[in-house]
Structure 1
């Protein structure tokens, strides 16, 4: 069975891999820097950005520490990651990826259900 994904606060309309990046860009343009997607199998994917870098997290189930995309060797940290409940976070750059890479990762996960073969990610479980 192929997994389908929906953006949590956009209702129950499935998001295709072809459309998900456009949807994320539109959300960012409207000031929504945090997006959660849920799959038909119950997995969730988080995308949180400061418009330059993004944290991409894949969770197998509720309460799962999950796994997240990384940029090994990226120095420093970035702030401006605004969560929907008003919290503003700062993350080490090695725990986030450039926004273009984040779009590519989300698109692949929505389309294939797993990280691209060349993606860099760590398991937090």
Structure 2
């Protein structure tokens, strides 16, 4: 069975295909929603939080899982402006985030195939 993904807004869920996920993320970002959670039919979660230049992408196997996240090894500095849906403003080391274009590519691939792209870099936080 193919894994299906939905945008989880807390009160509703909106199905999203790999073909539509990037446009959905762009619309959400343009409207100021910088945090997006996707939930799969197998119970996994995919978090996408951006400051519009870089993004934190985290894949969780189940609730409570520390997960795994995309990285940009060797990148110095940190970036702020990651605004969560609860209003919290976060700052992350740049090596723990990826450029927005790379984040889009990773999310699209995970929604399409269920796994990280072969040439993406990520770390397991478990």
Distance 2:14 2:65 in 1: 25
Residue 31 (structure 1) aligns with: 32
Residue 108 (structure 1) aligns with: 109
Q: Which runs of 4+ in 1 moved over 4 A?
A: none
Q: TM (normalized to structure 1)?
A: 0.98
Q: TM (normalized to structure 2)?
A: 0.97
Residue 2 (structure 2) aligns with: 2
**Residue 56 of structure 1: how far off its partner (Å):** 0.1
Give unpaired runs (5+ residues) of structure 1. Answer: none
Residue 93 (structure 1) aligns with: 94
Distance 2:102 2:14 in 1: 25
Distance 1:57 1:12 in 2: 19
Distance 2:50 2:14 in 1: 23
Q: Say whether the 8 Å CA contact 2:8–2:14 is kept in structure 1.
A: no
**Residue 14 of structure 1: how far off its partner (Å):** 1.8
Give unpaired runs (5+ residues) of structure 2. Answer: none
Number of residue pairs matched by the alignment = 125
> Residue 56 of structure 2: SS of its match in structure 1?
strand
**Residue 84 of structure 1: how far off its partner (Å):** 0.4
